Amino acid sequence: MKYALITGASTGLGKDFALALAEKGYTPVLVARSADRLKALAAEIKTKFGLQSVVITQDLAKPKSAEVLYKAVKKLKLSIHCLVNNAGFGLNGEFHKNSFENESQLIQLNVTTLAELCHLFLQDMVAAKDGYILNVASTAAYQPGPLMSNYYASKAYVLSLSEGLAEEVRDYGVTVTCFCPGPTQTEFFERANMTKINLVKSSFLIMKSREVVDIGLDALFSKKVIKIPGFANFLLAQSVRFSPRFLVRKIAKFLHQAG
């Protein structure tokens, strides 16, 4: 039996990652804060695929939560073959006006917890000479993002870390893929208080969650290091390399303002 651990599994991309991996025969290990949502998802997976998911209720925005999760997995004697680091959130607004408690929780979840989970589970995967890690970043990783400065910086970290790790563990038979979606139909924008910004109104960029997930898993199991889903997202991410930095900053700021 192969287990896939998915963080942030209760909604959006995380929920669809769990369903898609169950469809591929993985037994999902579902991790998020909401026990009720996880139990509902586990019931759905049981009905559709006949698989008994493992539910772990854990707030990964808290310090040392990655170690607590890893120990829980080891106590259950589960061997994680696929890790999807999907949990994360964004904050909109001027950095100095936002609560730093919230901003530091963003760093904890998007950066520190993700890095620690990679560190812990990579040790097992390297020892087994087999395993897959999908780190969910964003097209935000490719540029600065005024009015979401900390979020964009966190995703740049995920991209850089993932690329480095991918090269480090390649010879051990382990795959690390950095997945960089653009705007996606999930609860992300509601949580970040971004439903009225110009970016959300650019509907041609917004992709469906399951479509994005299928592209991400295909990239992971094809052993690709980086994947940006959607041709428009790919072009926009690459265009940053050739555009003046001052222009990139101004466009990003405009997209995060209310229209």
Name the residues annotated as catalytic.
151, 155
> What is d(CA 69, CA 62) in angstroms, rounded to the nearest whole number?
11
SS3 content of the chain, % helix, strand, coil (to 5): 55, 15, 30
CB 58 within 8 A of CB 35: no
> What is d(CA 147, CA 186) in angstroms, rounded to the nearest whole number?
20
> What is d(CA 91, CA 152) in angstroms, rounded to the nearest whole number?
10
Task: Tell me the residue ranges of DSSP E strands in the chain.
Answer: 3-7, 27-32, 54-57, 80-85, 131-136, 174-179, 226-227
- Of the candidates 67, 16, 117, which has an alpha carbon nearest to the alpha carbon of residue 28? 16
